[in-house]
Amino acid sequence: MNFLHVFYKEMTEQWRTYRLLIVVAVMVVFGLASPLLAKLTPELLKSIPDLPPGLADAIPVPTLSDAVAQYVKNMSQFGILLALLVSMGSVAQERERGTAAIMLTHPVSRLNFILSKFFALAVTFTISLGMAALGCWYYTLLLFKAMPWGAFLALNGLMLLVFLVYVAVSVLCSTLANSQGVAAGLAFGALVVIAGVSSLPRIGEYFPGQLFGWGAALLLGGANTAWPAFWVSIGLIIIALWGAWQVLNRQEL
Protein backbone atom coordinates (compact mmCIF):
# COMPACT_ATOMS: atom_id res chain seq x y z
CA MET A 1 0.00 0.00 0.00
CA ASN A 2 2.83 2.38 0.85
CA PHE A 3 4.13 1.93 -2.69
CA LEU A 4 1.20 3.99 -3.96
CA HIS A 5 1.95 6.85 -1.54
CA VAL A 6 5.63 6.90 -2.50
CA PHE A 7 4.76 6.61 -6.20
CA TYR A 8 2.31 9.52 -5.90
CA LYS A 9 5.04 11.59 -4.21
CA GLU A 10 7.42 10.71 -7.05
CA MET A 11 4.87 11.75 -9.69
CA THR A 12 4.23 15.02 -7.82
CA GLU A 13 7.97 15.65 -7.88
CA GLN A 14 8.19 14.81 -11.61
CA TRP A 15 5.47 17.37 -12.25
CA ARG A 16 6.63 20.16 -9.94
CA THR A 17 10.29 19.99 -10.90
CA TYR A 18 9.19 20.25 -14.59
CA ARG A 19 10.91 16.94 -15.38
CA LEU A 20 7.72 15.53 -16.90
CA LEU A 21 7.14 18.67 -18.95
CA ILE A 22 10.71 18.77 -20.23
CA VAL A 23 10.64 15.13 -21.34
CA VAL A 24 7.23 15.61 -22.99
CA ALA A 25 8.41 18.77 -24.76
CA VAL A 26 11.63 17.25 -26.12
CA MET A 27 9.95 14.03 -27.25
CA VAL A 28 7.04 15.85 -28.88
CA VAL A 29 9.45 18.14 -30.77
CA PHE A 30 11.28 15.12 -32.20
CA GLY A 31 7.99 13.31 -32.86
CA LEU A 32 6.67 16.22 -34.89
CA ALA A 33 9.99 17.01 -36.56
CA SER A 34 10.59 13.47 -37.85
CA PRO A 35 7.99 13.36 -40.69
CA LEU A 36 8.61 17.06 -41.34
CA LEU A 37 12.35 16.52 -41.82
CA ALA A 38 11.72 13.46 -44.00
CA LYS A 39 9.41 15.51 -46.21
CA LEU A 40 11.41 18.73 -46.36
CA THR A 41 15.01 17.50 -46.57
CA PRO A 42 14.79 16.52 -50.28
CA GLU A 43 12.93 19.75 -51.03
CA LEU A 44 15.65 21.77 -49.29
CA LEU A 45 18.37 19.93 -51.20
CA LYS A 46 16.63 20.61 -54.50
CA SER A 47 16.39 24.32 -53.69
CA ILE A 48 20.18 24.69 -53.39
CA PRO A 49 21.20 27.11 -56.18
CA ASP A 50 23.58 25.93 -58.94
CA LEU A 51 22.90 22.23 -58.26
CA PRO A 52 24.72 20.14 -60.93
CA PRO A 53 22.34 19.14 -63.73
CA GLY A 54 20.66 15.81 -63.13
CA LEU A 55 21.38 15.72 -59.40
CA ALA A 56 18.05 17.28 -58.48
CA ASP A 57 16.29 14.50 -60.35
CA ALA A 58 18.41 11.91 -58.59
CA ILE A 59 17.15 12.99 -55.16
CA PRO A 60 14.43 10.43 -54.35
CA VAL A 61 10.89 11.42 -53.61
CA PRO A 62 10.31 11.07 -49.84
CA THR A 63 8.06 8.22 -48.72
CA LEU A 64 6.42 6.93 -45.58
CA SER A 65 9.43 4.71 -44.88
CA ASP A 66 11.66 7.82 -44.77
CA ALA A 67 9.35 9.34 -42.16
CA VAL A 68 9.42 6.14 -40.08
CA ALA A 69 13.20 5.83 -40.42
CA GLN A 70 13.63 9.44 -39.28
CA TYR A 71 11.31 8.89 -36.29
CA VAL A 72 13.13 5.73 -35.20
CA LYS A 73 16.52 7.41 -35.64
CA ASN A 74 15.55 10.49 -33.61
CA MET A 75 13.95 8.51 -30.82
CA SER A 76 16.77 5.97 -30.63
CA GLN A 77 19.24 8.79 -30.06
CA PHE A 78 17.42 11.45 -28.05
CA GLY A 79 15.04 9.12 -26.20
CA ILE A 80 17.92 7.11 -24.79
CA LEU A 81 19.84 10.26 -23.93
CA LEU A 82 16.82 11.63 -22.10
CA ALA A 83 16.32 8.34 -20.27
CA LEU A 84 19.86 8.62 -18.91
CA LEU A 85 19.73 12.32 -18.09
CA VAL A 86 16.41 12.19 -16.26
CA SER A 87 17.10 8.99 -14.30
CA MET A 88 20.76 9.20 -13.32
CA GLY A 89 20.19 11.44 -10.29
CA SER A 90 17.12 9.60 -9.02
CA VAL A 91 18.73 7.84 -6.04
CA ALA A 92 22.12 9.60 -5.81
CA GLN A 93 20.47 13.00 -5.45
CA GLU A 94 18.27 11.85 -2.58
CA ARG A 95 21.23 10.29 -0.82
CA GLU A 96 23.37 13.39 -1.36
CA ARG A 97 20.65 15.73 -0.06
CA GLY A 98 19.78 13.49 2.90
CA THR A 99 16.10 13.00 2.01
CA ALA A 100 16.67 9.27 1.54
CA ALA A 101 17.92 8.95 5.14
CA ILE A 102 14.85 10.73 6.49
CA MET A 103 12.36 8.84 4.33
CA LEU A 104 13.83 5.43 5.10
CA THR A 105 13.28 5.98 8.83
CA HIS A 106 9.55 6.04 7.99
CA PRO A 107 7.65 2.99 6.70
CA VAL A 108 9.15 3.02 3.20
CA SER A 109 10.88 -0.22 2.25
CA ARG A 110 14.04 0.07 0.19
CA LEU A 111 12.36 -1.99 -2.55
CA ASN A 112 9.45 0.45 -2.75
CA PHE A 113 11.91 3.33 -2.74
CA ILE A 114 13.57 1.95 -5.91
CA LEU A 115 10.39 0.71 -7.62
CA SER A 116 8.49 3.97 -7.09
CA LYS A 117 11.29 5.86 -8.83
CA PHE A 118 11.38 3.43 -11.75
CA PHE A 119 7.61 3.39 -12.25
CA ALA A 120 7.32 7.18 -11.98
CA LEU A 121 9.98 7.49 -14.69
CA ALA A 122 8.21 4.80 -16.71
CA VAL A 123 4.96 6.79 -16.55
CA THR A 124 6.86 9.95 -17.57
CA PHE A 125 8.31 8.22 -20.63
CA THR A 126 5.02 6.51 -21.50
CA ILE A 127 3.17 9.85 -21.49
CA SER A 128 5.99 11.59 -23.39
CA LEU A 129 6.40 8.90 -26.03
CA GLY A 130 2.63 8.62 -26.36
CA MET A 131 2.31 12.33 -27.11
CA ALA A 132 5.32 12.25 -29.45
CA ALA A 133 3.78 9.28 -31.28
CA LEU A 134 0.45 11.08 -31.64
CA GLY A 135 2.21 14.11 -33.12
CA CYS A 136 4.27 11.97 -35.46
CA TRP A 137 1.24 9.99 -36.60
CA TYR A 138 -0.76 13.15 -37.34
CA TYR A 139 2.06 14.91 -39.25
CA THR A 140 2.78 11.73 -41.19
CA LEU A 141 -0.91 11.57 -42.12
CA LEU A 142 -0.78 15.17 -43.32
CA LEU A 143 2.51 14.89 -45.21
CA PHE A 144 2.44 11.26 -46.41
CA LYS A 145 -0.38 8.88 -45.55
CA ALA A 146 -1.90 7.18 -42.55
CA MET A 147 0.23 4.63 -40.73
CA PRO A 148 -1.43 1.42 -39.55
CA TRP A 149 -2.30 2.00 -35.88
CA GLY A 150 -1.51 -1.46 -34.62
CA ALA A 151 1.99 -1.60 -36.10
CA PHE A 152 2.75 1.99 -35.05
CA LEU A 153 1.64 1.18 -31.52
CA ALA A 154 3.89 -1.89 -31.54
CA LEU A 155 6.85 0.22 -32.74
CA ASN A 156 6.33 2.69 -29.89
CA GLY A 157 5.84 -0.10 -27.37
CA LEU A 158 9.17 -1.60 -28.38
CA MET A 159 10.88 1.81 -28.23
CA LEU A 160 9.42 2.38 -24.76
CA LEU A 161 10.87 -0.96 -23.66
CA VAL A 162 14.33 0.16 -24.81
CA PHE A 163 13.98 3.46 -22.92
CA LEU A 164 12.95 1.57 -19.79
CA VAL A 165 16.07 -0.58 -20.05
CA TYR A 166 18.16 2.59 -19.91
CA VAL A 167 16.01 4.05 -17.11
CA ALA A 168 16.50 0.89 -15.03
CA VAL A 169 20.25 0.80 -15.73
CA SER A 170 20.49 4.50 -14.78
CA VAL A 171 18.60 3.87 -11.53
CA LEU A 172 21.11 1.09 -10.76
CA CYS A 173 24.05 3.42 -11.55
CA SER A 174 22.45 6.12 -9.40
CA THR A 175 22.19 3.66 -6.50
CA LEU A 176 25.79 2.51 -6.91
CA ALA A 177 27.18 6.05 -7.03
CA ASN A 178 27.77 8.22 -3.99
CA SER A 179 27.17 11.46 -5.91
CA GLN A 180 25.26 12.66 -8.93
CA GLY A 181 28.49 13.27 -10.85
CA VAL A 182 29.63 9.68 -10.36
CA ALA A 183 26.12 8.46 -11.25
CA ALA A 184 26.29 10.40 -14.53
CA GLY A 185 29.70 8.89 -15.33
CA LEU A 186 28.50 5.37 -14.57
CA ALA A 187 25.29 5.81 -16.62
CA PHE A 188 27.15 7.07 -19.68
CA GLY A 189 29.71 4.31 -19.21
CA ALA A 190 26.87 1.77 -19.23
CA LEU A 191 25.50 3.38 -22.41
CA VAL A 192 28.87 3.06 -24.14
CA VAL A 193 29.27 -0.58 -23.02
CA ILE A 194 25.76 -1.55 -24.18
CA ALA A 195 26.24 0.27 -27.51
CA GLY A 196 29.63 -1.39 -27.97
CA VAL A 197 28.38 -4.90 -27.22
CA SER A 198 25.26 -4.32 -29.39
CA SER A 199 27.45 -3.66 -32.39
CA LEU A 200 29.17 -7.05 -32.11
CA PRO A 201 27.95 -9.69 -34.56
CA ARG A 202 25.75 -12.46 -33.07
CA ILE A 203 25.87 -11.06 -29.50
CA GLY A 204 24.30 -7.81 -30.72
CA GLU A 205 21.14 -9.67 -31.70
CA TYR A 206 20.35 -10.15 -28.04
CA PHE A 207 20.59 -6.48 -27.11
CA PRO A 208 17.81 -3.86 -26.84
CA GLY A 209 18.93 -1.86 -29.90
CA GLN A 210 17.49 -4.59 -32.14
CA LEU A 211 14.00 -3.64 -31.02
CA PHE A 212 14.10 -0.42 -33.06
CA GLY A 213 14.68 -2.43 -36.23
CA TRP A 214 11.95 -4.90 -35.32
CA GLY A 215 9.47 -2.06 -34.69
CA ALA A 216 10.29 -0.40 -38.01
CA ALA A 217 9.94 -3.74 -39.82
CA LEU A 218 6.50 -4.28 -38.25
CA LEU A 219 5.40 -0.94 -39.63
CA LEU A 220 7.01 -1.16 -43.04
CA GLY A 221 6.27 -4.79 -43.72
CA GLY A 222 9.61 -6.48 -43.08
CA ALA A 223 9.87 -9.99 -41.71
CA ASN A 224 12.45 -9.27 -38.98
CA THR A 225 11.66 -10.18 -35.40
CA ALA A 226 13.87 -9.74 -32.34
CA TRP A 227 12.29 -11.89 -29.66
CA PRO A 228 15.65 -12.66 -28.00
CA ALA A 229 16.34 -8.91 -27.66
CA PHE A 230 12.81 -8.42 -26.29
CA TRP A 231 13.27 -10.99 -23.52
CA VAL A 232 16.80 -9.83 -22.78
CA SER A 233 15.48 -6.25 -22.41
CA ILE A 234 12.86 -7.36 -19.90
CA GLY A 235 15.53 -9.40 -18.14
CA LEU A 236 17.88 -6.41 -18.03
CA ILE A 237 15.18 -4.23 -16.45
CA ILE A 238 14.46 -6.84 -13.78
CA ILE A 239 18.15 -7.48 -13.07
CA ALA A 240 18.97 -3.75 -12.90
CA LEU A 241 16.11 -3.05 -10.47
CA TRP A 242 16.89 -6.11 -8.37
CA GLY A 243 20.54 -5.04 -8.30
CA ALA A 244 19.60 -1.49 -7.27
CA TRP A 245 17.45 -2.89 -4.44
CA GLN A 246 20.24 -5.20 -3.23
CA VAL A 247 22.82 -2.39 -3.38
CA LEU A 248 20.55 0.01 -1.47
CA ASN A 249 19.85 -2.72 1.12
CA ARG A 250 23.55 -2.96 1.86
CA GLN A 251 24.18 0.75 1.91
CA GLU A 252 24.43 2.90 5.02
CA LEU A 253 22.73 6.27 4.77
Partner 1 sequence: MIQIKDLTKQYGAVRAIDNLNMTVEPGSIFGFLGPNGSGKTTTLRILTGLAKPTAGSAHVAGVNVSQDAHNLPAHIGYLPEEPTFYSCMTPRESLEYIGRLHGLPSSERIARIKELLMLVGLTEAGKRRIGGFSRGMRQRLGLATALVHRPQVLLLDEPVSALDPAGRKAVLELIEQLSGQCTILMSTHILADVERVCNVVGIISRGRIIVQSPREELLNSYVQPIFELDSADIPAIQRLAELLKKQTWIASVNIEGQTARIAVNNVAQARAELLAAAMAQHIVLRRYEEMRPSLEDVFLKLVETGSVQ
- For residues 94, 96, 102, 105, the Cα torsion angle rounded to the nearest 10 degrees is 90
Q: Which of 20, 38, 67, 108 binds partner 1 (CB under 8 A)?
A: 108
Shortest separation between residue 12's beta carbon and partner 1, angstroms = 7
- Interface region with partner 1, contact rule CB under 8 A, candidates 7-15, 48-56, 66-74, 172-180: 7-15
Closest to 115 (Cα-Cα) out of 154, 171, 45: 171
Closer residue to partner 1, CB minimum distance, 6 or 28: 6
105 binds partner 1 (CB under 8 A): yes
**Residues belonging to the chain:** 253
Q: Which residue stretch of 84-92, 104-112, 192-200, 220-228 sits at the interface with partner 1 (rule: CB under 8 A)? A: 104-112
- Here's the x/- map for partner 1, 10-39, by CB under 8 A: it reads as --xx--xx----------------------
Classify each residue of 21-30 as buried b or exposed e, where b means 16 or more C-beta atoms within 10 Å of its C-beta.
Answer: ebbbebbbeb
* CA-based nearest residue to 190, from 206, 212, 174, 211: 174
Only one of the segments 105-113, 142-150, 188-196, 203-211 lies at the binding site for partner 1 (rule: CB under 8 A); that segment is 105-113
Buried b (16+ CB within 10 A) or exposed e, 36-73: bbbbeeeeeeeeeeeeeeeeeeeeeebebebbbebbbb
Considering the rule CB under 8 A, would residue 179 count as an interface residue with partner 1?
no
178 binds partner 1 (CB under 8 A): no
Distance (Å, whole) CA 173 – CA 244: 8
Q: Quick check: 43 binds partner 1 (CB under 8 A)?
A: no
Residues near partner 1 (CB under 8 A): 1-2, 5-6, 9, 12-13, 16-17, 97-99, 101-102, 104-109, 252-253
